[in-house]
Amino acid sequence: MNTNLLFLILIGSIVGAASGYLGSFMVIKRMSLVGDALSHVALPGIAIALSFGINPMLGAFVTLMFAVLGIWYLEKKSEIYPEALVGIFFTASLSIGILITPEPELLEALFGSIESITVLDGIVIALASALIFFLTNLIAKRLLLGVVSEDLAASGGVNVSKVNLVYLFLVGLVVALGVKFLGTLLTGALVIVPAVTAKNIARGIKSFQIYSIVFGILSTVIGVSLSSVVNIPSGPAVVLVSIFFFIMSYFAKQVH
């Protein structure tokens, strides 16, 4: 196994761990489709970044932050559900992104290109993932209390609105980190599928979170290795591996 492949597997496992951990809260909050839709919002940012020769992750991150702030603000000021708001941002962003993305780079933006990940990208991904784990642990109890009852959380002094904003920010960040691996069409799957897989076999919140991280890591490690061996794009390989784990966990749940 060459050094470059080991580097890509390491970075992939970091992204998989962060995605799985955040995904566990997303499944608990019943916001699975939000993670998938937010990944599509990154496309216009990637297109603009590619046009100006900027790192696509930065372009994706900026676009996602604008979308997160817009969704959070409109959720507070209107009676529209967050899922509907995300759907609006998703369709608008995907349409704009497809129109303005240069054709040679469109496939890379949609499905990712693991070969383009640099050492600097790896450092940024590692530091950002550490920040994701730190901030998520910081708000975890308040986030879970809000899931049980927002009124109960508010009566306990929790600012539910700000906690949700931080959480959406973290989801946007992890999606931005995953665009080079999986592209805008498939990144959401890495947030959702490992967590749903873990839910099939977990017996408590703590084991659910640990299994989500484990399945996120296994999906990326095996997927990246498989893509290198059989020469297929890393995005579909990682997603198909995660789907395989989900199917196995589903049958395991039925048996037990």
Q: What is the per-residue pLDDT for 79?
A: 63
pLDDT in tens, 86-123: 667 677 777 777 777 766 666 666 666 677 788 888 88
- Four-CA torsion 245, 247, 249, 255, nearest 10 degrees: -150
CB 176 within 8 A of CB 61: yes
Is 179 or 128 the better-scoring residue by pLDDT?
Answer: 128
Write the DSSP symbol of residue 116.
Answer: G
Write the DSSP symbol of residue 114.
Answer: G
Other C-beta atoms lying within 10 Å of the C-beta of residue 98? 14
Question: What percent of the chain has a predicted confidence (pLDDT) above 70?
Answer: 83
Question: What percent of the chain has a predicted confidence (pLDDT) above 90?
Answer: 16
pLDDT in tens, 44-69: 887 788 777 787 788 888 888 887 88
CB 70 within 8 A of CB 89: yes
CB 190 within 8 A of CB 182: yes
Domain 3-255 annotated CATH 1.10.3470.10: yes
Integer CA distances (angstroms), 8 to 181, 243, 244, in order = 9, 21, 21
pLDDT range class, residue 244, cuts 50, 70, 90: very high
**For residue 155, pLDDT beyond 90:** no
CB 232 within 8 A of CB 226: yes
Tokens (6 digits) for 33: 């489709």
Q: What is the per-residue pLDDT for 28?
A: 84
Q: What is the per-residue pLDDT for 83?
A: 64
Instruction: Give the pTM.
Output: 0.84
CB 67 within 8 A of CB 172: yes
pLDDT in tens, 179-234: 777 777 677 788 889 999 999 898 888 899 999 999 999 999 998 888 888 887 77
- Dihedral of CA 41/246/32/220: which sign? negative
- Four-CA torsion 32, 36, 38, 39, nearest 10 degrees: 150
